[in-house]
A and B are shown apart, each in its own frame.
Chain A
Amino acid sequence: MTRAPWLVDVAAFLGAVALALALGAGALLITGTPVLPTYASMFSGSIGSLYGLQSSIGFAVPIAFCALAAAVAFRAQVWNIGGEGQLLLGTFGTTLAALYLPVPEPLMLPAVILAAAAAGALWGLLPGVLKVWLGVNEVLSSLMLNYVALLWIDFLVFGPWKDPAMAGWPYSKPFPPGAMLPQFGTSGLNLSLVLALGVAVVFAVMFRYSRWGFETTVIGYSHAAARYAAMNVARKTVQVMLISGAVAGLAGLGEVSGAAGRLYHMSPGYGYVGILVSWLASHNPLLIPFAALFYGVLIQGGSALQIAQVDPSLVRILQAAIILFALAALTLTRRYRLARIERRAA
């Protein structure tokens, strides 16, 4: 136990999952659903088959982007809750470039990637600037902007960007083929998986080895300490929000350029889930892909249940219960580890 403290975390996490599943079993019994077949179909639908695993990874990718976006902000104690809106702006940026930017086809792919990141960054920049200049609480401004972004996308797909060929349906025109992300065979996975892993590695290196990452971490521990060390907290806050927004914007890229090839009404909730996933991974960029995959499995398991006629909102409840139990379990194990270290030092 002393040699591998992470084992304690893993055990605590698995215990929390087991407890939540037990509670979920109770809820299933109340609604008169057989427990074991339900959990079995959730398991086989998510990790029990190649298709299920591929779909789980597909769900994990946008969550990983949003979690990485949350991680860079939360490490600096900048509370960006606007991942959802930044994701939506990413879909807007992608669509704007795909449909209205006159670039030759070979340049289309880099153009949509950059446009998604830029639009997300803009939506992150707003709360950052408002906080630094006017002292506006970033939790609330970033959150309010989620609703504005949602209405903005709805305005476009129900209004000026609506495809007249899709009578009655709120879809934009289809993207040109050049604006679609390259697919990996028939797996349903695409380039955004590689992008997400790339961002995770870049963040890990940045936080471990770069001056920028070090300063961000110091700011996260203490604004006062950072100021005494002559670090520019205001500028760093704005930079953090820009990067966080850009990465969340990339989550939106895959949502439109991955499979749909159009802009449409969506409210996936990945922006909020990303915050929870980042916390599960202790805001560690290299752990985030695994935590995101765990959540992707939960979502895919949930859609497998939907096919089995089980209420999808039950899965949301189960997800929340797992996070709440994990929150309690991991808070306690992390604290006792700290206490042990302090005792040894004393």
Chain B
Amino acid sequence: MTPDLVIAVLAATLTAATPLLFAGIGELVVERSGLLNLGVEGMMLVGAVTAFAVSVATGSAAAGIAASMLVGAVLGLAAAVLVVTVRADQVVTGLTIVILGDGLSRFFGQSLVGVSGAALLSPVPVPLLADIPWIGPIFFRQNLLVYLSYILVPAVWYFMYRTRPGLALRATGERPSAADLGGHNVFLIRYLALAFGSAMAGLAGGFLALGYLNAWVEGISAGRGWVALALVILAGWHPIRLIGGAYLFGFAYIMAFQIQTFGGVFQEVSTYLVQMFPYLLAIVVLAIMGRRFRRHRVGPPAALALPYVREERS
């Protein structure tokens, strides 16, 4: 492998990992508030179609991305009414949102299939840093949203572990009655967390359409929403540990995409078998981490997927 190819693969890995990182960090915040959002995949689809449609209509990629986050947040608030206020089953709600998002994105995306002319997210080299050998072309010749992902994860970590609202968020996910007693509004915190997580899922979809695949394709997310859910578990619900997982899976997607171009034996492998790689990898990594987590007693937030009822003691 030539250095150029290595650089190209690693730079592509970062791009492929960015939507996973967005959706993953959003879901991580949601789960730390004690909610389980299985609807990520559907929210990504709606975000992608929205971003693409708005970008085509306005000629502005920024407007498309903003719209994808807005639509995600609106879906998240609707889901919050169901799971926080009505206390509906979170697994069923999430799966229904996936079906809803799939239907909505197909309905509104019908006239956009094969359309070109959307304003896309173009790479913006960072002055000076982009010229560092190896590091520059891999990390600093990306689009602005990739740079945002570099900042977002540490920012979420800082929020969760160094601020009082972050403490309230974690308390809500572990023991909502204690958070309530401490004067925090459990319901408001969960609404906000789900709105944030869903906006991030929408953003991930917008990134797929405008910064990675550069088109609207039906079912564009192709399971990435579910991979993001797996990443949260792999990270042990800790934001910093999400980074490694996201890049690993970004690499897996690029390999599944690129491996046949390496020639030789790889050329003979069926593309359908190669595409299984990220999903099988997820299961294998979950299995490896499962043992580790048992040993180190890492687990989900204690109140995950349990609705909070004020008048009941827990």
Contact = CB atoms under 8 A, between A and B. Distances in A.
A144 B282 CA distance: 8
Given A136-B283, A273-B99, 13 more contacts: A136-B290, A140-B229, A140-B283, A141-B283, A269-B99, A316-B103, A316-B106, A316-B107, A320-B103, A323-B96, A324-B93, A327-B96, A331-B87
A147 B103 contact: no
A273 B98 CA distance: 11
Contacts of B100: 316-317, 320-321, 324
Interface of A: 79, 81, 130, 134-137, 139-141, 143-145, 147-148, 151-152, 154-155, 158-159, 269, 272-273, 275-276, 279, 311, 313-317, 319-321, 323-324, 327-328, 331-332, 335
Q: What DSSP secondary structure best describes chain B's contact surface?
A: helix
A134 B272 contact: no
A276 B87 CA distance: 16
29 contacts: A79-B91, A81-B95, A144-B223, A144-B280, A147-B223, A148-B276, A151-B276, A152-B272, A152-B276, A155-B270, A158-B270, A158-B272, A159-B270, A269-B99, A272-B98, A272-B99, A275-B91, A275-B95, A276-B95, A313-B110, A316-B106, A320-B96, A324-B93, A324-B97, A324-B100, A327-B82, A327-B88, A327-B92, A328-B88
B110 A311 contact: yes
B276 A147 contact: yes
A244 B98 CA distance: 22
B226 interface: yes
B212 interface: no
Contacts of B155: none
Interface of B: 38, 82, 86-89, 91-93, 95-100, 102-104, 106-107, 110, 223, 226, 229-230, 233, 270, 272-273, 275-276, 279-280, 282-283, 286-287, 290-291, 293-294
Given A130-B287, A313-B106, A147 B279 contact: yes
A67 to B, nearest CB: 12
A317 B283 contact: no
Given A140-B233, A311-B107, A324 B96 contact: yes
B104 A317 contact: yes
B107 A313 contact: yes
Contacts of B287: 130, 134, 136
A135 B234 CA distance: 12
A304 B192 CA distance: 41
Contacts of B95: 81, 272, 275-276
Contacts of B86: 327-328, 331-332
A98 to B, nearest CB: 22
Contacts of A321: 100
Nearest to B299: A135
B242 to A, nearest CB: 15
Contacts of B230: 137, 140, 144
A320 B293 contact: no
A86 to B, nearest CB: 15
A83 to B, nearest CB: 11
8 A-B pairs closest in CB distance: A316-B103, A320-B100, A135-B290, A155-B272, A313-B106, A317-B103, A313-B107, A144-B279
B228 to A, nearest CB: 11
Contacts of A130: 283, 286-287, 290
B233 A137 contact: yes
Q: Quick one: which of B91, B92, B230, B293 has the most chain A CB within 10 A?
A: B92
Contacts of A319: 99, 103
A140 B89 CA distance: 18
B87 A335 contact: yes
A293 to B, nearest CB: 19
Contacts of B110: 311, 313
Nearest to B227: A144
Given A158-B272, A327-B82, A328-B88, A145 B283 contact: yes
Task: Kindly name the residue among A139, A159, A276 whose own CB sees the greatest number of chain B CB atoms within 10 A.
Answer: A139
A317 B229 CA distance: 24
